[in-house]
Amino acid sequence: MCLICDRIEMIKRGENPYFVRELKTGYVVIGDHQHFRGYTLFLYKEHGDKTELFHLDKAERALFLEEMTIVAQAAAKTFGAEKMNYELLGMGDAHLHWHLTPRVSGDLGSYGNHGKGPVWWYPMEKMYSDETRPNPDELQNMKRLLSAALDEILTEGTQ
């Protein structure tokens, strides 16, 4: 089983403290590490042989992309993003999942090109250090705020 599938099983058992919300095509979770405050993932519900966007039928792909966009919008609003970064990678875990990273000026510090550039220009040992994990109260607050933003956006979409 893959890491993403493991995380989804934890959600189903009520054991994933980072879980925010279930949507039709996936699960919204706060990232374990928060150097980039508001880093959020959107995990596709299925795995199997669906490891590429083009493996999804047209309607499922459209819905997955639409829901990812809603999650990104909620993260941007909640965490004050100046710009969102979107990544759908997969050589680490082939399970379809989006990395949604709210970006603000100065979040790379002195790294990158005068402090600007992609998130991977920030040292991994700093990005994934224990100091970047939210404490339980911070995590609950982040989840509450993101869930409220999702409620607002999803409600707007039904009017």
**E strands, the chain, in order:** 19-22, 26-30, 40-44, 83-88, 97-103
Average pLDDT in the 126-143 region?
A: 98
Tell me what percent of the residues of the chain surpass a pLDDT of 70. Answer: 97
Q: Is 156 a residue whose pLDDT tops 80?
A: yes
CATH topology of domain 3-156: HIT family, subunit A (3.30.428)
- Give residue 115's pLDDT: 82
Q: What is the pLDDT of residues 41-74, one digit of tens each?
A: 999 999 989 999 999 999 999 999 999 999 999 9
**Average model confidence (pLDDT) across the chain:** 95
Contact yes or no for 96/51 (Cβ under 8 A) = yes
Beta pairing partners, 87 = 99
**Residue written as token pair 């991994």:** 124
- Single pTM value for the model: 0.95
Per-residue model confidence (pLDDT) at position 104: 96
Q: What is the amino acid identity at position 86? A: Y
pLDDT score at 93:
86
What integer pLDDT is reported at residue 100 of this predicted model?
99
What is the mean predicted confidence (pLDDT) over 12-16? 98
Those residues with Cβ within 8 angstroms of residue 92's Cβ, 6 or more apart along the chain or in another chain: none
Domains of the chain, by residue range, sit at 3-156
Better pLDDT: 93 or 30? 30
